[in-house]
Chain A
Amino acid sequence: MRTKAFVMLCSTALLASACGGGGPKSDAAGGGLSDGKVVFGVLNDQSGAYSQLSGKNSIKAVELAIADYKEKYGDKAVVKEFGVETADHQNKPDVANAKAAELYDRKAVDVILDVPTSSAALKVADVAKEKKKLYFNISAATTDLTGKSCNKYTFHYAYDTYMLANGTGRNTTEEGKKNWYIVYPDYAFGQDMEKSFSAAVEAAGGKIVGRDAAPFPNTSGDFSTYLLKAPTLNPKPDVLGTMQAGAELVALVKQYNEFKLRDKGVGLAVGLMFLTDIHSLTPAALAGTTYTDAWYWNHDLTNRAFADRFKTAAGVRPTFAHAANYSAALQYLEAVQAAGTDGSDAVVKQLEGKTVEDVFLRNGKIRAEDHRVVHDAYLAQVKTPAEVTEEWDYVKILRTVPAADAFRTPSPDCKL
């Protein structure tokens, strides 16, 4: 009897944890078009793994953009009234889907911003297409947003897996670290990253000597098997490429240091890293690691000035996602200003093919073919603790990857 009760309870436990709560469903009630008013919808993760790298602070970034627009145009501004709505999609595609519909329909949102987590980002692209409303994706990585899932109303702003692989994979290989061992989390993002990195490394004359798919989520938080394996591979890899993100990246780097792989001649390359990850691990744990950054707050005085304003508003230094949210909101308002209306088709027309310079977009261009926003990217290296003189200033920029090289050419899969 006891046995059965226990087994039953445990099964309940497994079930309870396996099923996430279903998202709230919204009825598509008509909100009407917002005459004379522009409403932004910041849809992102506000409580989970990605809430630090964008989250609520992205709302602050959008507010800064609104303030700048007001100041620039004053009485001549087409938009006089503004609104900022926000929702937490909890990184779940079904929740993102429902919240996006709710924002567009009920909260009269004209443009949705941010949306980390690739699977959720793709759902929102479908909603934008259906509702014929604008959507700037900032923090999701999948190239499908400008590939087979692209559409007329969706723009992909900050980065993607191709940009990361092309920067880090190619450069590290060209530096002479030819043999790679790739460890990636076994889900859409990780698989996409692994493909992009393998292609970039091989194109640069390197070789993938081993690859492993780590469980996702990695329940034990342990990557030691792969770290033990790395130096025993034949030929021995020069570099371990990790595609893990967030907390899993933190665990992997901790264990990389514990197993002394650097001393054994296996370097570390990180697929995707945010400033907040370096803050978690401390620069000491990552010193010397190179990665590709879409923007860095202390790169030049323009960035720094923005970072100072952001810090006053939010209390921390901005990640590239924060800066990109600012830029997207600003460029949307500029397009509305030029079009004289917030009608979606007129705004899209203004945006397509436009070249842009702002704090985030350097040599920026909004491609008409696939709505990829291309701009300069940066090859960054984490400083040693001795080089860090200011909190949050953890990185030095090794070189700029020019906008023309940083992103892939428009994909034939994309038909707007």
Chain B
Amino acid sequence: MVNFLQHTFNGLVGGAFLALLALGLAVIFGMLRVVNFAHGAIYMLGAFGAYVLLTEVGLSFWWALLVMPIALALFGMALERLLVARLARLDPLYNFLLTFGLTLILQDAVKSRYGVQSSPYDAPAILSGTLDLGAFDFPAYRVFVLVMAVAVCVGVWWLLSRTRVGMVVRAATERPELSTALGIDVGRWVTPVFGFGIGLAGLAGVLAAPIRAVNPLMGADLIIVVFAVVVIGGLGSIFGSVAAGFAIGLVQAWVQALGEDWALLSQVLVFLVMAGVLLWRPAGLFGREEAPA
């Protein structure tokens, strides 16, 4: 039973990364109809940024946690203005290809400067121990990650459902033409929302730096799973992406814990779930099926 609780808790921590990344993707897709393939590369930049801040500027993890998401959000806004906006009116495939290309450029730029080997990065001293959670003890840093992720998800939910800005964003997401017709300046919010989504990926990257291998390709594999999570949760559904992120993290942890015989299943699990969900509810678990155009 204690084992089960441990694996459950651990699954939630793994899910926290998926949820943060999926949330950013969902927000961006909802507002801009852009499938941002560069999300994985931004996650990598977040982690690398933390490393560079520490080794070349001397700023600690806590500063990185503050600085990197903001810096990357600004970078995202510039990206949206300079590149993404130009392709916005064309078929979504163009922006998908653009962000795919950006991924390759960003990865290779980091590679050429820092090489492919992983860079060392440690958790802050205060979080490097373990916490007693009653039934078991758990690395303090992982508990912190989970708390941060939940706080951010709740914060975003509050922003969207309880503020005027959120109302505008939701309206623009669901019925862009109608919102414009009602006199809401949708265009004004496109750039900040894109930047916000990018900032979330950067935050996930900084959080990952102390416990995962920091190297130029760290986001390349992860992004595939995040796409699957977003599809499972339902397109553009903020709640769906977060819920699916945590759920996939949980289920993966459980199946991995079953042992060697289940190894194959744990590798394909997320895609099996995705296929199953698509067959059962093509719009995803929390997506809204729309009337055919």
Contact = CB atoms under 8 A, between A and B. Distances in A.
A277 B292 CA distance: 54
B170 to A, nearest CB: 15
Contacts of A5: 33, 92
Contacts of A247: 117-118, 213, 215, 217-218
Given A7-B282, A258-B139, A281-B120, A2 B33 contact: yes
Contact of A225 (B129, B139, B218, B256): B256
A258 B128 CA distance: 7
Contacts of A250: 118, 213, 215
A255 B208 CA distance: 11
A221 interface: yes
B132 interface: no
Contacts of B141: 258
A161 to B, nearest CB: 19
Interface residues of A, number: 56
Contacts of A219: 221-222, 224-225
Given A9-B96, A221-B222, A1 B235 contact: no
Given A224-B10, A258-B123, A3 B282 contact: yes
Nearest to A274: B117
Contact of B263 (A10, A213, A222, A260): A213
Contacts of B225: 219-220
B257 A229 contact: yes
A232 B260 CA distance: 16
Interface string A221-252: 11011101100100000000000000110110
A329 B37 CA distance: 44
B238 to A, nearest CB: 14
Contacts of B289: 3
A398 interface: no
Contacts of B14: 220, 222, 224
B183 interface: no
B256 A226 contact: yes
A280 interface: yes
A233 B7 CA distance: 14
B118 A280 contact: yes
B73 to A, nearest CB: 23
A48 B116 contact: yes
A220 B18 CA distance: 9
Interface stretch (A13-21, A66-74, A305-313): A13-21
Given A7-B231, A215-B263, A215-B266, A17 B220 contact: yes
Most buried by B among A48, A186, A224, A259: A224
A12 B94 CA distance: 12
A250 B121 CA distance: 11
A212 B261 CA distance: 8
Contacts of A228: 3, 6-7, 10, 257
Nearest to A17: B224
A119 interface: no
A196 interface: no
A254 interface: yes
Nearest to A252: B213
Contacts of B218: 221, 247
A16 B278 CA distance: 20
Contact of B230 (A10, A220, A229): A10
A276 interface: yes
Contacts of A285: 120
A392 to B, nearest CB: 13
A251 B212 contact: yes
Contact of A279 (B13, B29, B117, B139): B117
A47 interface: yes
A48 B107 CA distance: 11
Interface in B272-293: 278, 282-284, 287, 289-290, 292-293
Interface of B: 3, 6-7, 10, 13-14, 17-18, 29, 33, 35, 37, 92-93, 96, 100, 111, 115-120, 123, 128-130, 139, 141-142, 208, 210-213, 215, 217-218, 220-225, 227-228, 230-231, 235-236, 252-253, 256-257, 259-260, 263-264, 266-267, 278, 282-284, 287, 289-290, 292-293
9 contacts: A2-B33, A3-B283, A213-B260, A213-B264, A232-B3, A254-B211, A280-B120, A281-B118, A281-B120
Given A10-B35, A220-B18, 7 more contacts: A3-B283, A7-B282, A219-B222, A220-B225, A229-B3, A260-B130, A280-B213
Interface of A: 1-7, 9-10, 12-14, 16-18, 47-49, 51-52, 186, 210-222, 224-226, 228-229, 232, 247-248, 250-251, 254-255, 258-260, 276-277, 279-282, 285
